[in-house]
Amino acid sequence: MKRYFGISRMAKVIGGRLWPVALIGGIGLWLGAGCSSKHYRESADKEVYGILRQKTPLVPDMPADFTIETNQVAGLEDLPTVSQIEPALGTTASQEIGARILPLDRALEIAFKQSRTYQTRKETLYLEALRLTLTRHQFNPIFSGALGGGYQGSRSKAENVQAGVDRITEQHSVYGSPSLGFDMLLRSGARIATDFTADFFKYVIGGDPRAVTSGRLASSLTQPLLRGGGYRATMETLTQAERSLLYSMRTFVQYRREYAVTITQGYFRVLQNRDQMRNIYQSYQSFKTSADRQRAFVEVGQQKVSELGRLQQQEINSETSWISAIRTYQQSLDQFKITLGLPTEARLVLDDRDLEKLAIQHPSIEVEDALRIALANRLDLYTQRDRLEDAARQIDLAKNNLLPDLDFVLQASATTQPGTYLPELDYSRLQWSAGLNFDPDLDRKSERNSYRSSLISYQQSLRDLELAVDNIKLGVIDDWRQLDAAQRNYQSSELGVALSLNRVNEQNLLTELGRGTPELLVDAQNNYTQSRNQLTSALISHTIARLGLWRDLGILTVKENGQWEDITDVTKHIQAAAAR
């Protein structure tokens, strides 16, 4: 009870007499309660997304609604389901019944919303922008404040000789010491610092009942005149941070293009494995039929048993290859699910119609035009050129650091009138001073080394730019050659399929007439299976090579949902590159 009574009495005293302290304390508690963790998260997101929206027009193909939120789950419930059994899957065919059929456009959408690797790249860009917010913050007024206070008591004993009794003296007091200040860095390099402090003391039981208050306001301005002074030296940190974020946004856009091509390639490789599984299954069925027919000839004495053994062995080999092809297809499908950010147990198959719709669309572009387009559009080349400018600025900054320190310093302070209840500044008691601080800093070994390093870094950046240009040219030339080779391979594969099919038909006919040989039939069937697989591979390779060329030219446009826009006419890009 004594404890609660003491707290109640103290609260009554503070509430009735020391309302200024209570008011300041209440404000502090209110601010502390209002700034929750959710508030800080939302504040960071608002500032970061605002910065990215501000710079988005400077980076072609940068998504306008960039966010790192992961609640945009793309479901599969609206997709059609498998209703027919795929015989090529053998004993596992029934597992596909009811599985969702995933088209390419939907696969891209899921990958750009749920992929773990893509999410990490988005977060990397976010963190770069978050670092910029702190750099920008250094050029804003930075406020600081603190509040200290308490309640204290003491008891003393005084002996009264005449009365022969001891007198107990008790004193209780409250005190507080709030402070408020701000610091600001100007773009000229000047730094302004201001701080106001106040002290409050009052006896509430015993002692002098008057309140004792005091306060002091102090301000200072420091302007570097040589080293560290001026706009360029002061703003270099912010300038580099702004440019670094721009570089990161370009890198992110380039990654989006590469990622779209990667997902497309992975999608068609799974379909290619499924197509090869079907081809091998059909080959296995053909060998099985041939072996049964040869077995019938042996039974009637028209063929030798040794010739039947050749077909039976090939039948076994085909079955083994078929079982391996099933595993390869299923493994690639599961791996693709992980790439998309889906669980491996998700029941889906890729849409065969996407493979059926593929066609050779060979662009009409000469290698010289391709090089001009790449040098005019590659974002990483823009960044490399900008980094050369960064290295040149670092030379100027290193030169500035070779200068001595010479600072102009202005200071002023004012105190409150003594004995007032509330602090009130007395400007008649103002004190100020102005002067120069000079430091020759005779040891300049570190600054000398930094300056020499900046000169070397500039030469390295120049060589890096030259190397980047050569590597881009090399990559584009290789893309162009690869695309041309893919077209030729497809044409050869088309012819190979037709020739091998004729051979298979011919050998089957001869076998039915009893004039064929197992060796020629096996070779014909194997060549037919191989040529069909080569045709599918060449078609997919040409499609991926075409996308890779557009990507490396810097003109592949990827929508916000991850779908890419195919380019059917490069004339406008050739003309734009020539104009630059």
Per-residue confidence at 159, pLDDT binned at 50, 70, 90?
low
Label residue 305 exposed, middle or buried (CB < 10 Å: 0-12, 13-18, 19+).
Answer: exposed
Q: Is the pLDDT of residue 12 over 60?
A: no
Indicate the pLDDT class of residue 10, thresholds 50, 70 and 90.
very low
| pLDDT grade for 580, boundaries at 50, 70 and 90 | confident
What's residue 417's pLDDT? 74
What is residue 217's three-state secondary structure? strand
Higher pLDDT, 419 or 527: 527
Nearest to 431 by CA among 223, 196, 218: 218
Count helices and strands in the chain by DSSP H and E runs: 13, 10
With the C-alpha atoms ordered 36, 41, 46, 50, is the resulting torsion angle positive or negative? positive
Highest mean pLDDT among 113-117, 152-156, 312-316: 113-117
Token pair of 94, please? Answer: 């029934």
What confidence score (pLDDT) does residue 288 get? Answer: 83
510-515 average pLDDT score? 72
CA distances from 291 to 505, 512, 567 (A): 16, 12, 50
* pLDDT exceeds cutoff 60 at 397: yes
CA–CA–CA angle 85, 91, 93 (5° rounding): 25
CA distance 209 to 203: 5
What does the pLDDT read at residue 300? Answer: 58
What local confidence, expressed as pLDDT, does residue 158 receive? 63
Work out the average pLDDT over 287-300: 70
Q: In the predicted model, what is the mean pLDDT of the chain?
A: 86
Q: H or E stretch including 438?
A: strand 425-439
pLDDT digits 0-9 by tens, 118-147: 999 999 999 999 999 999 999 999 998 888
Higher pLDDT among residues 355 and 215, named by residue: 355
Q: How far apart are CA 153 and CA 204, in angstroms?
A: 10
Q: What percent of the chain is modeled with pLDDT above 90?
A: 60
Task: For 564, list phi and psi in degrees, rounded to 5.
Answer: -100, 150
For the chain, the residue count is 580
> What value does the mean pLDDT take over residues 555-577?
88
User: Are 187 and 235 in contact, with CB atoms under 8 Å apart?
Assistant: yes
pLDDT surpassing 50 at residue 357: yes
Sign of CA dihedral 383, 385, 387, 393: negative
Confidence of residue 13 (pLDDT cuts 50, 70, 90): very low
Measure the CA–CA gap between 353 and 563, rounded to whole angstroms. Answer: 17
User: Lowest-pLDDT range, 223-232, 301-310, 498-507?
Assistant: 301-310
For the ranges 74-78, 362-366, 417-421, 561-565, which has the lowest average pLDDT? 417-421
Task: Supply the pLDDT for residue 423.
Answer: 60
334 vs 345: CA distance, rounded Å: 8
Q: For residue 2, is pLDDT > 90?
A: no
* pTM, to two decimals: 0.85
State residue 4's pLDDT score.
38
Arithmetic mean of pLDDT, 202-223:
83
User: What domains sit in the chain, N to C, each tagged with a CATH number?
Assistant: 38-138+235-399+447-579 (1.20.1600.10), 152-185+190-227+405-439 (no CATH)
Question: E strands along 285-404, which residues?
Answer: 348-350
